[in-house]
Amino acid sequence: MTDRPLLMIPGPVEIADEVLAAASIRPPSHLAPDFKAAFSRALKAMRQVWRADDTHQPFVVAGSGTLAMEAAATNLVDPGEPVLVVNAGLFGDRMAEMLRRRGAIVHQVGSRPGGTPPLEEVDAALADHRPKVLFVTHVDTSTGVRSDAQGILALARRHGALSVVDGVCATAGEPLEQGAWGADVVLTASQKAIGLPPGLALWVASPAALAARRALTVPPPMVLDWLQWLPILEAYEAEANSYFATPSTTLIPALDVGLASLLADGMPAVWARHQRAADACRAAWDAMGLVLVADSPANTLSALSWPDRVDAGALPRIAARGAIVAGGLHPALRSTTFRVGHMGDVTRHPGRVRRAVAAVGLGLRDAGGDVDVDAGLRAFDAHV
């Protein structure tokens, strides 16, 4: 490991050497036998990572998480149909705007930044509005808050609504069981807790979600259309030739390697190491006098208030101490907060997470903050 600063933002993240090697190949043909075999393995692995059975369909499309969101918004809802967005921050706002542009009747339940809407309010909104689809952000990356995805999905099922989980900052970092919890779509992007370079939109759809697409009156834009992609993905899973739009022939082999390594550890162990890294970081923040924005903080990132006398001018000082962290993102918190990602491969290496914690503490101190770095590191060490 060199002295380069660690990339500790909420995506893109540090990637494993084996994933880097898999992505660093001369781009093969999209019809090359090895490529088709890697694509097939990656699709099968997605079901296991998402904890979905063979009736569920994985999708891999070149793009980012936002593309997966837009695909969900346009494949499940016809103009004029009611939907409910359980909105915990910036990405809930984005989802609601996409649905509005689709012509849906958008109902929302929200909360102050850092909170999540209470289950009773979600329940009441489902009863009042009878939405066709409920959309929830598992981890809102603008405040670092984690939703009670399992509880919300149970309510959606009880009210007969389809459900979409924006797992972009959560999938593989936070426990989620798509099959057992009854999520119809769980979407993410390659550059977050999955631990790849940016460039792939990933989602898994249930049979009910696919049936809802088939029943649409107004088809989605062609490149976002699940039914356009479905035969392509089925062909790749069977290692057969197909073409609709060129897949990323370098990132998909990296996806194969990345997902295989998650499954070699086992998802419960992967979730547990994210939990351990997050617990150690939170103990360190607390000992350094740093305050989290979220009531129920995610295991994949920490959104923290700047300490007294410090602002975003500290970001380069933190980088100079060895970790690139992110500024605020939520419109109401942009100037008062910063965010540290702790997801993906780095959670396999507690020493690297510790380096990032030290860099945050030292950088804040360099910037004039009153931060007890040693106390922070002692608290960190007590947790790993």
Ligand X SMILES: *Cc1c(COP(=O)(O)O)cnc(C)c1O
What does the binding site for ligand X look like in residue numbers (CB under 6 A)? 11, 64-66, 91, 137, 139-141, 166, 168-169, 189
Nearest approach, Cβ of 65 to ligand X (angstroms)? 3
Joined tokens for residue 313:
């001018």
Nearest approach, Cβ of 16 to ligand X (angstroms)? 19
Nearer to ligand X, 198 or 289 (CB): 198
* Rounded-to-integer distance, Cα 301 and Cα 12, Å: 12
Nearest approach, Cβ of 66 to ligand X (angstroms)? 3
Q: Which amino acid is at 39?
A: F
Nearest approach, Cβ of 48 to ligand X (angstroms)? 22
Report whether the peptide linkage leading into residue 12 is cis, meaning its omega lies within 30 degrees of zero: yes
* Rounded-to-integer distance, Cα 78 and Cα 130, Å: 15
Nearer to ligand X, 137 or 302 (CB): 137
Closest residue to ligand X, judged by C-beta, is 65
- Strand-strand pairing, 105-109 and 133-137: unpaired
| C-alpha distances out from residue 252 to 44, 226, 232, 237, Å | 13, 18, 14, 13
Nearest approach, Cβ of 249 to ligand X (angstroms)? 20
Nearer to ligand X, 73 or 358 (CB): 73
DSSP, collapsed to helix, strand or coil, labels residue 24 as coil
Give counts: helices (H), strands (E), the chain: 14, 14
Nearer to ligand X, 189 or 290 (CB): 189
* DSSP secondary structure, 39-57, as one string: HHHHHHHHHHHHT--TTSE
Nearer to ligand X, 40 or 75 (CB): 75
Nearest approach, Cβ of 2 to ligand X (angstroms)? 27
State the CB neighbour count (10 A cutoff) for residue 143. 32
Comparing CA positions, the residue from 194, 200, 161 lying closest to residue 71 is 200
Nearer to ligand X, 11 or 113 (CB): 11
